Amino acid sequence: MPSGIFAILDDIAMLLDDASAMSKIAAKKTAGILGDDLAVNAEKATGFHASRELPVIWAITKGSVLNKIIIIPAALFLNAYIPGLIVPVLLLGGAYLCFEGAEKIHEWLAHRFAKNAHEEDSHQVAATKLSEKDKIRSAVRTDFILSIEIIVIALESVRDQQLAIQILVVSFVALLATVGVYGLVALLVKLDDMGFYLVQYAQSLTGTMSGILTKVGELLIASLPKIIRFLEFVGTLAMLLVGGGMYVHHIEMIHDGLHFMPTMLANLFAGLIVGFVFLFILHSVKKTKET
């Protein structure tokens, strides 16, 4: 009996060791998309009142966990029984990301070339009327699409492994994507609070340390708006790159047609084309309904 228990424990140890090794490989393969995930979700989770930043990030995090609880078994099922459906699902998600990126560019251009300042202000007021719940839902939808890409890439790296290792590896990458990404997002959006704390704390000190802490605090406070604007740009770029990359990597005709471009430029070009095509279709449908 004891030998049987030790044999089971040995099997578990070997399984965990294999899962650990495969998790490192999967994490490396998903590193790029995890970086894009961070940029997109940081952009989605910013722009709220200071008192609501952490509650909003927590709400998006819970939505992200639910997304992965849905996606992981679905991805394992498709991989085992209907592998041919994985690519169409990725392309559909890619279309949504491209559309979101194109829509942000369209909105920026509309504000940029507004006929007068009053019209531009009205655009900004309309944009701020989106409720907190709407913004959270939008962030969770985008997280869902990015999570599909992350989990599928992780699953492809262990496709030839036994089911237990697939589950452990994919679950580890999913946990890393959620805790790591939203932990960093929470840290970013609270930079100004850290800065205010350092400035206040510096006032209780004297000498060189007080001056250093004050300067660091003021730097953190001043840097947050610039970081948010940078994240808006990087998040939009990331959506186009990820969405366009799904089409470049999974449609041979597009891949062959853009092979002369560097990979990143090809992904961006494909993302812009797909995004603006869907944006045009949506606007055309809306105009048709209005008339």
The 3-state DSSP composition of the chain as helix, strand, coil percent (nearest 5) reads: 90, 0, 10
Q: Among the residues of 161-207, which ranges form H helices? A: 163-175, 181-189, 191-202
Q: What is the pLDDT averaged over residues 112-116? A: 62
Q: Is the pLDDT of residue 22 over 60?
A: no
Q: What is the distance between the alpha carbons of residues 49 and 87, in angstroms, rounded to a whole number?
A: 39
User: Structure tokens of 99?
Assistant: 């559309």
- pLDDT score of 117: 47
- pLDDT score of 146: 84
Q: What is the distance between the alpha carbons of residues 151 and 172, in angstroms, rounded to a whole number?
A: 10
Q: What is the pLDDT averaged over residues 160-175? A: 83
Query: Based on C-alpha coordinates, what's the Rg of the chain?
Result: 23
Candidates 253, 254, 246; CA nearest to 88 is 246
- pLDDT score of 278: 92
Give me the chain's average pLDDT, please.
Answer: 79
User: Residue 126: which domain range?
Assistant: 2-290
Q: What is the distance between the alpha carbons of residues 203 and 272, in angstroms, rounded to a whole number?
A: 50
Per-residue pLDDT band for 9 (boundaries 50, 70, 90) equals very low
Q: What is the distance between the alpha carbons of residues 278 and 91, in angstroms, rounded to a whole number?
A: 13
Q: What is the pLDDT averaged over residues 9-23? A: 51
Q: Judge whether 179 and 163 are in contact, CB under 8 Å.
A: no
Beta-carbon neighbour count of residue 145 at 10 Å? 24
Report pLDDT digits (tens) over 252-281: 999 999 989 999 999 999 999 999 999 999
**48: region left, alpha or beta (phi > 0 left; psi from -120 to 50 alpha):** beta
Q: Judge whether 150 and 33 are in contact, CB under 8 Å.
A: yes
Total number of domains in the chain: 1
Candidates 75, 35, 23; CA nearest to 241 is 35
Residue found under tokens 């998600």? 93
Give just the sign of the alpha carbon dihedral 216, 221, 226, 230. positive
- pLDDT score of 28: 57
The conformation of residue 112, written as its DSSP 8-state character, comes to H
Q: Judge whether 177 and 32 are in contact, CB under 8 Å.
A: no
Per-residue pLDDT band for 123 (boundaries 50, 70, 90) equals very low
Q: Is the pLDDT of residue 120 over 50?
A: no
- pLDDT score of 150: 84
- pLDDT score of 125: 43
Which region among 33-42, 58-67, 208-217, 239-248 has the lowest average model confidence (pLDDT)? 33-42
Q: Is the pLDDT of residue 251 over 80?
A: yes
Q: What is the pLDDT averaged over residues 227-245? A: 84
Give 33-80 as a 3 state SS string: HHHHHHHHHHHHCCCCCHHHHHHHHHHHHHHHHHHHHHHHHHHHHHHH
- pLDDT score of 29: 52
Residue 48 CA to its chain's centroid (Å): 18
User: Structure tokens of 97?
Assistant: 């990301």
pLDDT above 70 as % of the chain: 77
- 116 vs 167, which has greater pLDDT? 167
